[in-house]
Amino acid sequence: MKTRSTVLGKAHVDRAAAQTTSFDAPFQDLITEAAWGHVWSRGNWSLRERSIVTLAILCAKGHWDEVAMHIRASANTGASREDIREMILHVAIYAGVPAANKAIAVAKSAFAQMDQSGAEDQP
């Protein structure tokens, strides 16, 4: 939970916990343990590197709500807007221009939201 809160922000994690029901509690436990406890908490890569790789995969797969959330989380991981732009250029070549085109639109919208409301604890 510490890594999840560090990356996504305490407010986001608290909102997710408050919305958890008995139906989705096992899923929340799974992603907290597997994604945040095992993968995101490993020491081999920095949070910045994990953020960039995660965003590239999400863009390539077209998971746009998750892309927006992880772009907002980049304020907590150290991934800069320039890092995100470079990641999208890689997506254009390796996953296709349509995915990158949508990623640009999602990024611009997320950045505008961050600029308007302050970047801290945004996901």
Predicted confidence at residue 117, as pLDDT, reads: 85
Residues 76-116 pLDDT 10s: 999 999 999 999 999 999 999 999 999 999 999 999 999 99
CA angle 85, 89, 94 (to 5 degrees): 145
Say how far residue 60 (Cα) sits from the centre of its chain: 14
Q: Which fold has domain 2-117?
A: AhpD-like (1.20.1290)
Question: How many angstroms separate the Cα of 85 from the Cα of each of 5, 29, 79, 81, 96?
Answer: 25, 32, 10, 6, 15
State pLDDT tens for residues 66-81: 999 999 999 999 999 9
Question: pLDDT for 14-56, tens place per residue?
Answer: 999 999 999 999 999 999 999 999 999 999 999 999 999 999 9
Domain layout of the chain by residue ranges: 2-117
